[in-house]
Each structure stands twice: as C-alpha cells, then as structure tokens.
Structure 1
Amino acid sequence: MIATAKRLNQVQEYYFSQKLREVGSLISQGKPIINMGIGSPDLKPDSSVIEAIQNAMNDPKAHQYQSYQGLPELRKGFAGFYKNNFNVDLNFATEVLPLMGSKEGIMHISLAFLNEGDEVLIPNPGYPTYISVTNLVGAKPVLYDLYSENDWEPDFEALERQDLSKVKIMWVNYPNMPTGASGSLELFEKLVAFAKKHQILLINDNPYSFVLNDNPMSILQVDGAKDIALELNSLSKTFNMSGWRVGMVVGNSEFIDAILKVKSNMDSGMFYGIQKGAIAALQLGKDWFEKQNVIYKNRRALVFELADALGCTYDANSVGMFVWAKLPQEITSAEDYVDKLLYESDLFIAPGTIFGSNGEGYIRFSLCIEEEKIKEVLARIDVDSAIHL
C-alpha cells in the first residue's frame, strides 16, 4: 500500500460530496428526493452572458493558454463592478486577480501567507473549507464563536482575551453563510481596526451581497482597509454562474502579487470564453438583481411556510440564498433530524452542524429550487407530526 500524505489525516471529504452520493443513490432507487441542501443556483445566466461565450468560440485566441491574470477587460470589469456597486476604487492592473471560483482563492491565499504552525481565526458556524484548507497547509484553526444573541457577529472582547500572537489570518463572511446575517459597515470598521491592531490579514468572503440584500457592502469601503484586508467575490450566486467557476480576489497590489505567485503555479489561465461571458455579466445593471430577487423572495416566503410547518424559528430579515432555521428545543440532533426528513419525507436539507458546533440545533434551507418543488414539499409534510419526525 502507498501511504497517503499525513495532511489528509487532518481533513475529511466535504460533507456535500459525501451526502450527495447518498442522495443520488436514493434517487436511483426511485425515491422522489427533493434537494434543498446545496446553494447551486438553478436559474440561468442572462442571455447576453450565454451569447458572449458562444461568440467567443470563433475567436482565434479562444482555445489558447490564457494570461494567469486574466484578460485586461475582465479585470476592468471587476474594477468597474466594485466602483458601481460599492464605490470602491481598484486599480485593475494591480489590485484585481481573477480566480476559477472564489473557493480556490481560499487555498491560494492560505498557501501564500501561512506557514506551518501559524494560527487562523475561523468563524463558528462558518464555511467548512476555511478549516479544511487551514489544516491542509499545516496551520492551526482557531475557532471564534458567532451567536444569534450577538447577531452572528464576533465578540471582540472575547477575541481580545485570547493569545493572538500566532494568528496570521482571520476569515470573515458577510453577508454571512450559513446564518444570513447581513453585517454592517460599523462591523467592518471594527474588524479592520482589530486586524490592524494585531497585524492580522483580514479576508472577507463576499459572494452573497446581492441576493435578497438591499444594502450591498464591501469591507474595502472602510478607510484604510486595503492596508490589512482582502476580499473574495464570485459570479456564482450573483449571476447564476456557479458551474462556470469565476471569482476574484481584490486588495492591495502586494497581497495580490503574493497570491499570483501561487496561482501561476497551479493553473494555466481561465478559459477565454468563460472570461468573455463574465465580462458581459459584470455589465448588467441593477435591474438584473431586482428580477432575481423577485424570484428569491417568492421562494423564501414558501420556505418560511415550510420552516413554520416544521416548528422552526428564523430571522425574517436575513439575507442571502438560504434560510437558517432554529429547530424546536426537543430536537437534540440536527443531523439525525435531517436524516429522518431524508428517509421519511424524501427531503434533503443541510444540518447546521456541518458549519461548526454552534450550528447544532439549526438547519439550512437553500432557495435554489423552483416554487413548485417547495410547494410539493409542503404538501408532503404532516404539520401535526413534522416536529416529532
């Protein structure tokens, strides 16, 4: 037997990778499973985006290796997007780096800045990839708690009581996934001040700004944020392009140069046609977001009905493409409850525990499912017995 690397002892297969195989097996057995677990937009990109990638196929440059930094027009598109939507000025030549999805950016940033033994502040609950990547590069995850009583925001007094001497990176994610907390400019100001005080690289993972959110924000709106902060963003949720794998990291040129050193050794540039489609997407106006949000509002209203039927409570003012719902007190295991829903009601949703220990007692519904399917789930649920599944 060839032994695997020791680093694999620190990570497990991504929950959705494993669970979706189980769901797929049930579907292959004829089970009418409805999947409300994963945030993969089911809506299409705008027709102009599809037309742009189609037209790009006939360009002589389309099938060649591309620049590691992406087309200048794409970087200009990202910079324009930040100026138009966040009033943030970015130098497209030095402060913008396109990514094949923001998820790879988590790895690139970690490889660029973390040494073995460095510590990383990671939200609990939070995106599981932050922990996995930190472990893979030999750094140490240090979880900081988010609680509903504090609007799912960090407790800065608790953070200040910790030994932060080895902390190199802090991950934040607002609008927040999985909780839907919107965050605020005031919170960003506190985060930037905290990071500067302790010389911690602050990274805001920001793919949900435009989904059911009337006040899109960037951490780079804070004065002086570029000195200490980076921001990841993505076209996946904003423009229904999750399978295209288009994202970006933005920030000051020194940080971007360090990440490029990693990225340029990991891939050979983004496919030309995808870049052209992304350029078209970035030119869409606010009416695009408004039309998308009409659809998501209707879906969310139905998911609220479903959460009510299951005896859950939730924040009706949360943002993003999920509904984070607190289970009834008598349900002691979110994962057991999710499995009962899967096997007894043919419904798959995400247990809060996959996002951290503070997710126990919660479940997460995705809005990436058409209204008729949500209505079908509602018809399946026996309101009188649902709580006791």
Structure 2
Amino acid sequence: MIPAKRIHTVEEYYFSRKLREVRSLIAAGKPIVNLGIGSPDLQPPTVVVDALEASLHDDTAHKYQSYQGIPELRNAIASFYKNNYKVTLNADTEVLPLMGSKEGIMHISMAYLDEGDEVLIANPSYPTYTSVTKLLGAIPIYYNLDANNNWLPNLEELEQQDLSKVKLMWVNYPHMPTGAKATRTFFEKLIAFAKKHQILIINDNPYSFILNDEPMSILSIEGAKEVALELNSLSKSFNMAGWRTGMVMGKATHIQHVLKVKSNMDSGMFYGIQKGAIKALASSKDWFTELNKIYAKRRQLIWQLATKLNCTFSTETAGMFVWAKLPKENTLSSEAFIDKLLYEKNVFITPGSIFGTQGEGYIRFSLCVTEEKIKEVINRIEA
C-alpha cells in the first residue's frame, strides 16, 4: 500500500528516533543519564491524584464526555487566567480544553490552513509547528531568532517581506528552547503587526510559571483576542505531562472554528483527568514557589555542568531548560558534540540543531533530573 504524499514531507520526530538509541544503550548496561527531555520527574499536587481517584465512582466517570470539557473545567481555566494573568475569559465561548496543547497545534492549523497558505515559524522553535504545517500542504516561512535580539522576532525585517499569503504566525514565550522571555512592549507591537497584516498569532505558553517571576499571557494585551489565540498546558506547570491536559483560549469565533475540527477528532477528555485538572488549576501560588525552589537548585548545577563543558549561557531565562552555546574552540556540530558525550560520558543532551538552523552551535539541558544525577554527570565530565 502506498502512503500519502504528505507523509514524505516530515521525518520521524527526533526524540522518537534518538530515545530508541538511548534505550538500547541502557539495555546494554550503559548508565545513561538523560538530560535531554523536558518530561517532569516530580509528582503532581497530591489533591490532583486524589481528585482523579475519587471521581472514578461518579455516575458519569466512564461515559463519553463533552467535546468542550465539563463546565467546571472551563470555569477553572477561566479563573486561572483571571488570577494569574489578569485575563478575563468567557468560560462558555472563549475556552476550549485540549488533550495536551500538541493536539491544539494540529487542530488550529487544520481550522485555518489551506494547501499553499504560508505560516511564519521561528528558527529555532518547537519542530511540531513545521511538521504540522507541512502535513497540511501549507508552506513554512521561517523567521530567524538570535541572541543579539534576545531571541525575539525582528518585526521590522518581517515587514519587508511579502506577507500576503501568511495565515498564521507561531510564537512561543517563554521561548523553547532558549528560555527567552517576551516583554509586554514586544507583545503590543506583535498584536499591531498581526492586525495590520491580518495574521492569526498563536502564542504557545506552557512554560510561564517555571523559573519566571512575571507570568504573562498575550491575551492580556488590549485587542489581542481579535488576532491571537493562546495555547497552554498543565504538563510543565503541574507535572502532568502524561495526563495530556491543555487548553486554547481566544475569541469565541476562533474557538468555534477549532472546535469544529476537534469534535471530529476525539470523543472528549476522560472525566477523571478533568476533575484532577480542576484541582491543579485551583492551586495557590505556593505550589509554584516550592516547585521553583527545586528547579532553581537544579539550574545552578546545570550552569556548573555547562561551564565544565566550556559552554556559555544566559542566566536571565525562564522555563525548564538551559540553552548553552558550544565553546568557540569546538569544531563539532551540535549533534556530533552530544553524541561524543553520549558514548564517552553516558549522558544525553539535546542538540540545538533539531530546533532549526539557528540552533546549530547550541545544546539544550533539561532540568527534569535530580540534583544527585546532575552532580554525577559533573563528576563524569571532570573525570
């Protein structure tokens, strides 16, 4: 059987392929420490797990659920945005729960893109933005980010391009993989840019509470709902990556378009997960304070590790990664550099090149590893 032509536009996801290699090394007895993946190793709030367990005996627990999620969950999302971002949302029309924000990337793209439409995608950025764009027959148009502009788009440069075919623009702040933070002034300029060119902006915002003193939503900018959607997730903020719980927020018309796609793709989120998510979203700010104490200690150690490798990095970043520039004397590509560490020191780090050509010459460390393991890696590098 011949697969669709679209399947040839994408490659297997890097981590899917590379982690098979890492697992094979572990199976062969190698003591691999994985500093590559941003999968939280900490537990969710206890009340979240308790809520899931308690919900299993509810009358509706095992039935099909609403495509829009139960009302209590939408209300919890709206309250969370009000309390933490100062954003007012109509829980009935401007909030749509998702089975992880990754599915939202596909649903939004399917709702808005026709074959041949163009999509502005950052370089470097999350590879899924490109993959989904290509799968739908749309055309990725890359805009370069670099350290000199704090990894923010140069809107003046973009203004010089032909933007007539651009439908969507993906942004992601706090930025993955670099950890750069957007300013309110930048978001204001971005919204003005979107209105001028009639481009739908999607801010992918799952990292705003990790090592970040000023969480911000693009929807807090005046007029943003007209031209912007925001994706968010409980994966990083509440250590619930495997629960696949996310949401998209924005103008009712935009949400309705996304719902048309989503309602044909699934039969609702499991009830118990929704009940757990409600409890997570009601957490006090103390939860983030305690979580960030752990990540701050780990980040200090990762900075030590990066320094041992003669890498340089910014200390003014957010999120659960450290983005580090390879040493000037290094002659290896980022993939070759991390492979050398993998086979000689039994440590896996993510090469920056998988996020785009602008990521070449960088590597990314995850903070989702215990202090003891990071210290172990430091000792291996020193040996």
| Same fold by TM-score greater than 0.5 | yes
The one-letter code of the counterpart of 1:226 is: K
SS in 1 for 2:235: coil
Counterparts of residues 349-364 of structure 1 (less than 5 Å): 349-364=349-364
Counterparts of residues 116-131 of structure 1 (less than 5 Å): 116-131=115-130
The one-letter code of the counterpart of 2:5 is: K
Corresponding residue number in structure 1 for 2:367: 367
The one-letter code of the counterpart of 1:3 is: I
SS in 1 for 2:90: coil
Within 2, Cα distance between the matches of 1:256 and 1:317? 34
Within 2, Cα distance between the matches of 1:237 and 1:55? 24
SS in 2 for 1:256: helix
Deviation at 1:317, TM superposition (A): 1.2
The one-letter code of the counterpart of 2:355 is: F
Corresponding residue number in structure 2 for 1:386: none
SS in 2 for 1:63: coil
Q: Provide Cα deviations, 1:9-47, integer angstroms capped at 9, x if missing partner.
A: 100000001100000000000000000001000000010
SS in 2 for 1:74: helix
Within 1, Cα distance between the matches of 2:58 and 2:16? 36
Corresponding residue number in structure 2 for 1:29: 28
RMSD (CA atoms): 0.6
Corresponding residue number in structure 1 for 2:328: 329
Corresponding residue number in structure 2 for 1:151: 150
Counterparts of residues 304-343 of structure 1 (less than 5 Å): 304-332=303-331, 333-343=333-343
Corresponding residue number in structure 1 for 2:229: 230
Corresponding residue number in structure 2 for 1:382: 382
The one-letter code of the counterpart of 2:85 is: F
Within 1, Cα distance between the matches of 2:164 and 2:290? 47
Q: Provide Cα deviations, 1:186-208, integer angstroms capped at 9, x if missing partner.
A: 11111101000000000000000
Within 2, Cα distance between the matches of 1:302 and 1:245? 29
Report how many residues are paired: 382
Within 1, Cα distance between the matches of 2:357 and 2:336? 15
Identity of aligned residues (%): 66
Deviation at 1:60, TM superposition (A): 1.3
Corresponding residue number in structure 2 for 1:175: 174
Corresponding residue number in structure 2 for 1:195: 194
The one-letter code of the counterpart of 1:134 is: T
Within 1, Cα distance between the matches of 2:85 and 2:156? 29
Corresponding residue number in structure 2 for 1:114: 113
Corresponding residue number in structure 1 for 2:283: 284
Deviation at 1:157, TM superposition (A): 1.4
SS in 2 for 1:381: helix
Within 2, Cα distance between the matches of 1:185 and 1:234? 21
Within 1, Cα distance between the matches of 2:185 and 2:126? 23
The one-letter code of the counterpart of 1:337 is: F
The one-letter code of the counterpart of 2:334 is: A
SS in 1 for 2:363: strand
Corresponding residue number in structure 2 for 1:387: none
SS in 1 for 2:41: coil
Within 2, Cα distance between the matches of 1:377 and 1:191? 41
SS in 2 for 1:141: strand
Deviation at 1:156, TM superposition (A): 1.1
Deviation at 1:128, TM superposition (A): 0.2
Within 2, Cα distance between the matches of 1:189 and 1:177? 21
Within 1, Cα distance between the matches of 2:57 and 2:81? 30
Corresponding residue number in structure 2 for 1:139: 138
Q: Provide Cα deviations, 1:99-154, integer angstroms capped at 9, x if missing partner.
A: 00000000000000000000000000000000000000110000000010000001
Q: Provide Cα deviations, 1:68-116, integer angstroms capped at 9, x if missing partner.
A: 0000000000000000000000000000000000000000000000000
Deviation at 1:382, TM superposition (A): 2.7
Q: Provide Cα deviations, 1:276-301, integer angstroms capped at 9, x if missing partner.
A: 00000000010000000000000000
Within 1, Cα distance between the matches of 2:82 and 2:139? 36
Within 1, Cα distance between the matches of 2:185 and 2:240? 31
SS in 2 for 1:144: strand
SS in 2 for 1:275: helix
Deviation at 1:330, TM superposition (A): 2.4
SS in 1 for 2:16: helix
Please give the TM-score of this superposition, normalised by the length of structure 1.
0.98
Within 2, Cα distance between the matches of 1:186 and 1:23? 42
Within 2, Cα distance between the matches of 1:234 and 1:147? 26
Counterparts of residues 240-279 of structure 1 (less than 5 Å): 240-279=239-278
Corresponding residue number in structure 1 for 2:44: 45
Please give the TM-score of this superposition, normalised by the length of structure 2.
0.99
SS in 2 for 1:220: helix
The one-letter code of the counterpart of 1:55 is: A
Gap regions ≥5 residues in structure 2: none
Corresponding residue number in structure 2 for 1:185: 184
The one-letter code of the counterpart of 1:356 is: G
Q: Provide Cα deviations, 1:168-227, integer angstroms capped at 9, x if missing partner.
A: 000000000000001111111111010000000000000000000000000001000000
Corresponding residue number in structure 1 for 2:348: 348
Within 1, Cα distance between the matches of 2:281 and 2:314? 31
The one-letter code of the counterpart of 1:312 is: C
The one-letter code of the counterpart of 1:209 is: S
Within 1, Cα distance between the matches of 2:41 and 2:382? 27
Within 1, Cα distance between the matches of 2:155 and 2:61? 49
Within 2, Cα distance between the matches of 1:351 and 1:303? 15
Within 1, Cα distance between the matches of 2:307 and 2:330? 15
Corresponding residue number in structure 2 for 1:9: 8
Q: Provide Cα deviations, 1:236-278, integer angstroms capped at 9, x if missing partner.
A: 0000000000000000000000000000000000000000000
